[in-house]
Amino acid sequence: MDQSISNWPEQAAIWQSAFASAERSLKNELSEIVWTAVVGPDPMNGGDSAKTINSPKIVGNMSLLSPVEMMTEFVPCLHPGQIAAREYVYSWPVPVQGTMLTFNDRVVPGSVHRNLALLAALLSVVFEVPWIVRQQPFAFLGNISPLIAASRENVPSHQNGPEHPQETELPTWVFEGWDRSNADRALRNAVLTHSEALRLTDHHPSFALVAFMAVFQALGSRIEKRENKQREAALRQILSSIESKEILRLYGNRSDTAHQGVLFGSEIVAGMSSHEFNPYWEPPEQLFQRESLRKVQRVSQELIVRHLQADQMFGKSASGSGKHCEE
């Protein structure tokens, strides 16, 4: 008999002992460290940036702290074609804290970044404007105010912004939805994609439509196995047959953009709407964004909330702007 085979039990025991020793060593070197990050509305997108949470909350294993103070940013105006225009954006970002097990306090595990991305996406659904991670997580326990203050712009006295934020109580479906999104990949994908679609709406409306349609597909996959029926299955949870067909007709636009690069919104006129006044006619790109895209956005919002709520998955019934533009 081969001697190496006959010694196999002894060799296996040696390797098992080595692995156990290495595991104990790694565990001893791990330390629990507090991390801090900041989430807030995307200053480069339209919408009401003055909305924020009204009190500290715990979502999953993360603590959302009270907004520290108003953050003021001076960014290029949302309206294209105005090279000198700037916009004051006022917001109340939310500090977020949690703990992590790590060998090095400079290395934040990927799970923390993924959790923050999902948290920001859920807050995008709450406030109906895109929220993003404004400060990536770093090992820190203390007052975050200096970090916010360091980013404050020099604002003229006549542009001090709103005195108070528009505080909002987080709905219960945020907490239920956190657990459900982490347990269901399709739901998590839908929430993240809806948030990305919101970021595309103003400047890349045709691709925003592609993303919103993907939300319908993802949510439909939770209740319908046949792929070609999933979009309709999702829409029929909140829309009538006629309303569903109206939304599904836009799937042709989605396919033209995704497969052939056809654009339907303001991209085709460099972001500008027609300045010609005609009470009997509206430019098609303007009509696309004002009616079609906004309608799809509203349906995506309502569908996601329904799926985030614990009892709504299968269609059971449920019981001041912070901007000023200067040139």
pLDDT at 143 over 50: yes
Res 165 pLDDT > 50: yes
Q: Which helix (H) or strand (E) holds 248?
A: helix 241-248
Higher pLDDT, 162 or 275: 162
Distance CA 28, CA 213 (A): 48
Read off the tokens for 316: 């059971």
Query: Is the CB of residue 212 less than 8 Å from the CB of residue 194?
Result: yes
Predicted confidence at residue 321, as pLDDT, reads 43
Torsion of CA 221, 227, 230, 231, to 10 degrees: 120
Ranked by mean pLDDT, the top range of 33-37, 108-112, 232-236, 284-288 is 232-236
Percent of residues, the chain, with pLDDT higher than 70: 80
Concatenated DSSP letters for 119-130? HHHHHHHHHTS-
Average pLDDT estimate for 271-283 = 66
- Cα separation, 250 vs 252, in Å, equals 5
Q: What is the dihedral of CA 191, 197, 201, 203, to 10 degrees?
A: 140
Q: Can you tell me the mean pLDDT for 42-66?
A: 90
Q: What is the pLDDT of residue 140?
A: 80
Q: What is the pLDDT of residue 164?
A: 85
Confidence (pTM): 0.82
Distance CA 319, CA 90 (A): 35
pLDDT in tens, 93-134: 999 999 988 777 677 889 999 999 999 999 999 999 999 999
Summarize pLDDT for 247-268 with one digit per residue, the tens: 999 999 999 999 999 999 988 8
| pLDDT score, position 302 | 97
Predicted pLDDT at 77: 74
| pLDDT at residue number 15 | 75
Point out the least confidently predicted range of 149-153, 187-191, 295-299.
Answer: 149-153
Give the residue-averaged pLDDT of 132-139.
Answer: 92
- Between CA 72 and CA 154 the distance in angstroms is 8
